[in-house]
Structures are given as structure tokens and as C-alpha cells.
């Protein structure tokens, strides 16, 4: 869905969400810098880092769309990964130094499948040292490069689904699998943990992110595709609008009075809501639209949609982000 703008040119108030197929060997920051220079847009940010060796969906926010990045970051992600059993590295991926090689026999296929299937559900991961997670304001990777190991607490993540695509033996065991997981999941840590559970060690060989929320790899543009769009003068056709990017959030359509209030960051009572879309729980971010359907802001509902008395509640909807 293209962003609806008129007489739009590259570098002139471009705003929207751009889906890039990140190439291997590029950092996420490299891609942001390239797109910023290519499009002449000052405000460009991504919604979830991919390691340099990883490829696939990188969601970029341009212009005003940077205001919604925090909501896109929350989206579930889908990956295809290859786990190599029998070799552990200090970075938990193929870029690191080998710290262990298994010399004995490997588990049977059914054991591998059982251990990996048991990962579905809530997991607790210790962030890898080679990561951007900050401890006392310092990214872990900086400490790791200095040869330090920093104590760090485990973090909860959720594996929604995990399916094994193939298992090949020669001479190590390589497992290709698809995984759908929550924000904050480290697939390389998942691989290392599986290897440790199996008693043979393991690391991530390669990783492709295939989906972020509603955005898929099929929608992603290569940097060459984007270059062609710039040449054709059709960058706006590559962008997704803010309403499109936020379509998975529930929505309220407001009357003129509450619409004006929302545009100024002022909350409103539920009596001002004309109609709703989707369901929500208390504290859920919701899209706020004017009577004509125009997206105005992001709010937070203090009551749940299943509460039969919410329309008569005295609690107001608070404004989190004004988007106009």
C-alpha cells in the first residue's frame, strides 16, 4: 500500500515505512545511513537490529513515521535459521572463535526434535556478550571486545512456533528450522542453548528474517530495487503509510470534539468514540482516527473491550503520540 502524498519528491518530507531486504555483511546502521543518503531524508530509523551476517526484513521508519517505531518494535518476528551442532563459538554464531568441538557421537534425530520442540513457550535467555544490550549504559559488545565478561540477568522471551525443516549429518549435524518469536529473542542464543541442552554445543550458522509483524520478505526491497525506484521517481510507491503499518492495533473513530482534543494531546472520554475496530485490553495502544478516518494519534485505553460498561466509564483515553 503506497503512501498517499501528492507531488512528492525524494528528500522532501518523505514519511512512511520502508521494508528493506538487508544484505549480508551490512549492519543495520549501514542500511539506515545508505537509505538516508540515497533519499535525502534526515530522519530514518530501524525497528529492530539484525546482525551483520543476517539477512532479511529490516523495517525502516522515515520522517514522521519514526514516531511509531516503538510500536513496530513490539511485533513478533519470523526467521529461518541454521543451527550447527557440535561446535560452540564465543559469539554464538559463525563469526566467532570456536571455543568447543564435540568429539563423541551425536544425539538421535528424535532427541534433537524433542529438545527443540520443548523450546516453544516462555524461555529465559541471557543476552549474549556480543550484543547491543546495555549494562550500566555500556553496550555489551564493547565490553566483549575488551575481553571482559559482564554479569547480566536473563530475559524472558516467547517462542510462538518452531518447525524443523531439515536435519543433515556430515560430519557435524546441521538443523534448518523456522521460528516465530517475540521481541527481544536472540536466535543465536536459542541455538547455543539447544546445543548445550543436547550436550554437544551449537551455534547459529546463518539467519534470515522473513517477517516483522505484518511485513514479509516478499514485500521487502533490495537496495538495488530502491535505487531503481529513486531513478524512476517512484519512492513514494515503495512506502507504507502509518495507518497501514499500525493496522494490527485496535482503532477508535472519534467525533469532531475528541478529534480536536487528540490533535493537541488532550485525552477524552469514551462517550466521544463513534465506533471501534478490533479488541483490546486495559493499557493497549490504540489508533485514534478522526470522523473521516484520518489517523490522528496513538492513545491508551484504560479499560478492556470486553468490559460491558466501558462506554460509560469516567476514565479517559490518554494520548501517547500525536501523529499530525
Which residues lie below 8 Å from residue 138, measured CB to CB, with a gap of 6+?
A: 150
Q: Report the distance separating Cα 112 and Cα 195, nearest Å.
A: 9
Which grid coordinates belong to 43?
530522519
Measured distance between the N- and C-terminal CA atoms of the chain, rounded to whole angstroms = 20
Q: 189 and 127 in contact (C-beta within 8 Å)?
A: yes
Q: Report the distance separating Cα 27 and Cα 298, nearest Å.
A: 30
State residue 11's pLDDT score.
56
State residue 10's pLDDT score.
57
CA dihedral 125, 127, 133, 134 (to 10 degrees): 100
* CA-based nearest residue to 82, from 205, 202, 195: 205
Greatest pairwise CA separation for the chain in angstroms: 72
State residue 12's pLDDT score.
53
Which grid coordinates belong to 111?
532427541
State residue 1's pLDDT score.
29
Q: Report the distance separating Cα 252 and Cα 125, nearest Å.
A: 37
State residue 144's pLDDT score.
74
Burial class (CB in 10 A: 0-12, 13-18, 19+), 257: exposed
The tens place of each residue's pLDDT in the chain, 324 residues long, gives 232 223 334 555 789 999 999 999 999 999 999 999 999 998 998 888 898 999 999 999 999 999 999 999 989 999 999 999 999 999 999 999 999 999 999 999 999 999 999 999 999 998 887 777 777 777 777 877 878 788 888 899 999 999 999 999 988 999 999 999 999 999 999 999 999 999 999 999 999 999 999 999 999 999 999 999 999 999 999 999 999 999 999 999 999 999 999 999 999 999 999 999 999 999 999 999 999 999 999 999 999 999 989 999 999 999 999 999
State residue 208's pLDDT score.
98
Q: Does the predicted TM-score (pTM) go above 0.85?
A: yes
* CA-based nearest residue to 77, from 179, 169, 151: 179
Q: Report the distance separating Cα 206 and Cα 25, nearest Å.
A: 12
State residue 5's pLDDT score.
29
Phi/psi of residue 221, nearest 5 degrees: -100, 140
Q: Report the distance separating Cα 22 and Cα 39, nearest Å.
A: 17
Instruction: Name the one residue in this structure whose C-alpha cell is 534470515.
Output: 208
Q: Report the distance separating Cα 150 and Cα 133, nearest Å.
A: 11
Burial code of 115-135, b = ≥16 C-beta within 10 A, e = fewer?
bbeebbeebebebbbbbebee
State residue 3's pLDDT score.
28
Report, as residue numbers or ranges, the catalytic residues.
51
In the chain, the domains with their CATH numbers are 16-74+214-244 (3.30.2350.10), 77-207 (3.30.2350.10), 249-322 (2.30.130.10)
Amino acid at each position: 500500500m503506497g503512501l498517499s502524498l501528492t507531488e512528492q519528491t525524494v528528500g522532501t518530507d518523505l514519511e512512511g515505512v520502508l521494508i528493506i531486504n538487508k544484505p549480508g555483511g551490512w549492519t543495520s546502521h549501514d542500511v539506515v545511513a545508505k537509505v538516508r543518503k540515497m533519499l535525502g531524508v534526515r530522519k530514518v530509523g530501524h525497528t529492530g537490529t539484525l546482525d551483520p551476517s543476517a539477512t532479511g526484513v529490516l523495517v525502516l521508519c522515515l520522517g514522521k513515521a519514526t514516531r511509531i517505531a516503538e510500536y513496530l518494535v513490539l511485533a513478533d518476528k519470523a526467521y529461518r535459521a541454521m543451527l550447527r551442532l557440535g561446535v560452540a563459538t564465543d559469539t554464538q554464531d559463525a563469526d566467532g572463535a570456536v571455543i568447543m568441538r564435540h568429539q563423541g557421537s551425536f544425539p538421535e534425530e528424535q532427541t534433537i526434535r524433542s529438545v527443540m520442540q520443548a523450546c516453544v513457550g516462555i524461555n529465559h535467555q541471557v543476552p549474549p556478550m556480543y550484543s547491543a544490550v546495555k549494562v550500566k549504559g555500556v553496550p555489551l559488545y564493547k565490553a566483549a571486545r575488551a575481553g571482559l565478561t559482564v554479569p547480566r540477568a536473563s530475559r524472558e522471551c516467547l517462542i510462538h512456533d518452531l518447525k524443523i525443516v531439515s536435519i543433515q549429518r556430515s560430519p557435524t549435524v546441521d538443523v534448518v528450522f523456522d521460528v516465530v518469536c517475540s521481541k527481544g529473542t536472540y536466535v543465536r542464543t536459542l541455538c547455543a542453548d539447544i546445543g548445550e541442552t543436547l550436550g554437544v554445543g551449537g551455534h547459529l550458522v546463518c539467519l534470515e528474517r522473513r517477517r516483522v509483524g505484518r511485513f514479509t520478505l516478499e514485500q521487502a526491497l533490495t537496495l538495488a530495487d530502491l535505487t531503481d525506484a529513486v531513478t524512476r521517481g517512484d519512492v513514494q510507491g515503495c512506502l507504507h503509510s502509518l495507518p497501514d503499518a499500525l493496522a494490527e492495533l485496535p482503532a477508535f473513530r472519534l467525533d469532531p470534539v475528541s478529534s480536536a482534543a487528540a490533535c493537541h494531546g488532550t485525552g477524552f472520554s469514551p462517550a466521544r468514540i463513534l465506533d471501534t475496530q478490533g479488541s483490546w485490553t486495559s493499557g493497549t495502544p490504540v489508533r485514534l482516527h478522526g470522523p473521516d478516518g484520518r489517523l490522528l494519534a496513538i492513545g491508551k485505553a484504560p479499560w478492556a473491550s470486553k468490559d460491558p460498561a466501558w462506554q460509560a466509564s469516567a476514565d479517559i483515553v490518554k494520548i501517547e503520540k500525536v501523529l499530525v
